[in-house]
Chain A
């Protein structure tokens, strides 16, 4: 009798890349729900547009590259990129902006480098930065959280939102406003207490900033779920959040007019939690070893704070992540774990005779 020859190990724990991506998608659900509640239909429209564009762009490029489309779409990586972008873009931005960001993510940042697994930068963040730099006005106009809308004003309904997104109508006055990080960026000279008193965004918040605080909590919950499911290790996110908290603690100075804000405000504003659990944990573009991921996360946390406090953009997760991506191979070189039977860890570029 003859038999098929197959290499060991025979058997597998039945985990698959597609399933990992699906879990990531599920983990974004709490954040998505809170964001949709707080900021209206715009979030869902962004998400829908981004996912559609991501899948179409991926399929098109796979076709041009002559790869089996169905097989590669099954890994859900394009959907994840689409969802992450959809969640980070401001609601009610014009439709073409979402498309441009997504197509750039998939085509340039991902497929041109060789597709899934070969991209040195996080595709969603590349797409985000491209539109942020190209269309700063659209990208910094956020919708006011639902509880802060002026009397008589409500978020546009689905149809109205669609006309805003696709036909370019302007949203009603009062529907758009500043984000907590914007306020700090543009309130130079005011004491932190004053900023807090002057803005309902802070004065009626529970612990950080209205709307944003709960969105961040939701993303934190989703992230903890992924951590529990062992989709990623704790090193990256924890390092990033701890560094961000430490930095904001160091420079808080009790709330003077120079203060860039409290640790709590930084941890639960902007894309802090979203970035920590859904972007920093992107394995493809991050450092590989646990120690490397600690450094990588810490670097991103540091950069987020530096750019938020002293840079010209209110939020900085995208820039920080891209800079972290740049540094990842360098970090990898110095963080190869110590192997069994070796006294010392080696550098990735060590030569045989070094030992």
Chain B
């Protein structure tokens, strides 16, 4: 056997190369198993980034299914409530370029909450069944009301209401929620129109 190899250089090269290949392949495989980095499954991480409005505007029945679908290769720009910031976050996670929002699924709007005009409510429970997060309280033939803190603003309850007594109201900022805004940076403003800024500076 050894004689065969020493006499036949090509065979020797072949054998040693294959041998090395198998050896290192085995080593790498072992290392991959042994030093595996545990991380959250990608679906969980994606779900974490989605806004959890459960509104279905992406075409999936909730945020988790959409997360699953993104993990399977779906487009990441189908979530209007999350808007550009969510798209950016997902793009960062998946290390892809961040596209702009797919307008087909809706536009990014200010956050709203559902509000039931209670004297018009007939107590049909249709909105309760539609609410994906159980944020509407009430019973058959009794007036319903929205638990504002739990409402995600998905507006899925508006459509089923037979008497059209649900409004989506923008969340009003009160003194506790007020935040400082970023200062208007004059030298950034200047870039858009030089003439107007000349006036403000002189």
* A–B proximity contact (CB within 8 A): yes
Pick the interface stretch among A63-71, A223-231, A236-244, A342-350.
A63-71
A7 neighbours in B (Cβ, 8 Å): 180, 183
**Which chain B positions have C-beta within 8 A of A71?**
190, 201
Residues of A contacting B191 with CB < 8 Å?
A: 65-67
Residue of A nearest to B186 (CB): A71
- For the complex, what is the distance from the CA of A7 to the CA of B193, rounded to whole Å? 25
Interface centre among B180, B193, B197 (most CB of A within 10 A): B197
User: Within 8 Å of chain A (Cβ to Cβ): is B194?
Assistant: yes
**Residues in A neighbouring B194, C-beta threshold 8 A:** 66-68
Interface of A is mostly: loop
Bound complex: CA of A66 vs CA of B191, how far in Å? 6
Chain B proximity of A197: nearest CB distance (Å) = 59
Q: How far is the CA of A71 from the CA of B186 in the complex (A)?
A: 11
B141 at the interface (CB under 8 A from A): no
Chain A residue at minimal CB-CB distance from B201: A71
Closest to A71 in B: B201
Please, what's the 1-or-0 string for A29-72, where 1 marks a CB less than 8 Å from any CB in chain B? Answer: 00000000000000000000000000000000000011110110
For the complex, what is the distance from the CA of A65 to the CA of B191, rounded to whole Å? 7
Complex alpha-carbon distance, A7 and B201, angstroms: 19
B34 interface residue (CB < 8 Å to A): no
User: With the chains together, A162 CA to B90 CA distance in Å?
Assistant: 62
CB of A40 to closest CB in B, whole Å: 41
Asked if A67 and B187 sit within 8 Å, CB to CB, the answer is yes
Q: How far is the CA of A70 from the CA of B180 in the complex (A)?
A: 31
Q: Which of B174-202 contact A (CB under 8 A)?
A: 180, 183, 187, 190-191, 193-194, 197-198, 201
Number of interface residues of B (CB under 8 A): 10
In the assembled complex, how far is the CB of residue B187 from the closest CB belonging to chain A, in whole angstroms?
7
Once the chains bind, are B201 and A68 in contact (CB under 8 Å)? yes
Bound complex: CA A7 to CA B183 (Å): 9
The smallest C-beta distance from B130 to any residue of chain A, in angstroms, reads 37
Convert A131-147 into 0s and 1s, putting 1 for each residue whose CB lies closer than 8 angstroms to a CB of B.
Answer: 00000000000000000
CA distance A7 to B184 in the complex (A): 12
Q: How many residues of A contact B (CB 8 A)?
A: 7
Minimum Cβ distance to chain A for residue B189 (Å): 11
Contacts of A65 in B (CB 8 A): 191
| A residues 67-115 touching B (CB-CB < 8 Å) | 67-68, 70-71
Q: Kindly supply a per-residue 1/0 record for chain A positions 1-30, scoring 1 wherever the CB is within 8 Å of any chain B CB and 0 otherwise.
A: 000000100000000000000000000000
Q: How far is the CB of B1 from chain A (nearest CB, A)?
A: 55
Which B residues touch A70, using CB under 8 A? 201
How far is B187's CA from A71's CA once the two chains are assembled, in angstroms? Answer: 10
Nearest-Cβ distance from residue A350 to partner chain B, whole angstroms = 17
A-side contacts of B201, CB under 8 Å: 68, 70-71
Q: Are A67 and B190 in contact (CB under 8 A)?
A: yes
CA distance A48 to B183 in the complex (A): 39
Of A68, A70, A71, the most chain B CB neighbours within 10 A belong to A68
**Distance, CA A67 to CA B187, complexed state (A):** 8
Rounded to whole angstroms, the CA-CA distance of A65 and B197 in the bound complex is 14
User: Within the assembled complex, what's the spacing in Å between the Cα atoms of A138 and B183?
Assistant: 49
Contacts of B183 in A (CB 8 A): 7
Roughly how many angstroms separate A67 CA and B180 CA in the complex, as a whole number?
27
List chain B residues, Cβ under 8 A from A68: 190, 194, 197-198, 201
CB-defined contacts of B193 to chain A, threshold 8 Å: 66
> Max chain A CB contacts within 10 Å: which of B180, B183, B190, B191?
B190
- Chain A nearest CB from B184 CB (Å) reads 11
Give CA–CA (A67, B201) in the complex, Å.
Answer: 12
Q: 1/0 per residue B154-189: CB within 8 Å of A?
A: 000000000000000000000000001001000100
Q: Closest residue to A69 on the B side, CB-wise?
A: B194
Task: Tell me the minimal C-beta distance from B192 to chain A in angstroms.
Answer: 8
Residues from chain B with Cβ under 8 Å of A66 in the complex: 190-191, 193-194
Residues on A with C-beta less than 8 A from B190 are 66-68, 71
Closest chain A residue to B193, Cβ basis: A66
Within the complex, what minimum Cβ distance (angstroms) separates A198 from chain B?
57
Bound complex: CA of A65 vs CA of B192, how far in Å? 10
Q: Chain B, 127-160, contact with A by CB distance < 8 Å: what is the 0/1 string? A: 0000000000000000000000000000000000
Residues of A within 8 A of B (CB): 7, 65-68, 70-71
Binding site for A on B (CB under 8 A): 180, 183, 187, 190-191, 193-194, 197-198, 201
7 contacts between A and B (CB under 8 A): A66-B190, A67-B187, A67-B191, A67-B194, A68-B198, A70-B201, A71-B201
A66-B190, A70-B201 known; 12 new pairs, CB 8 Å cut-off, are A66-B191, A66-B193, A66-B194, A67-B187, A67-B190, A67-B191, A67-B194, A68-B190, A68-B194, A68-B197, A71-B190, A71-B201
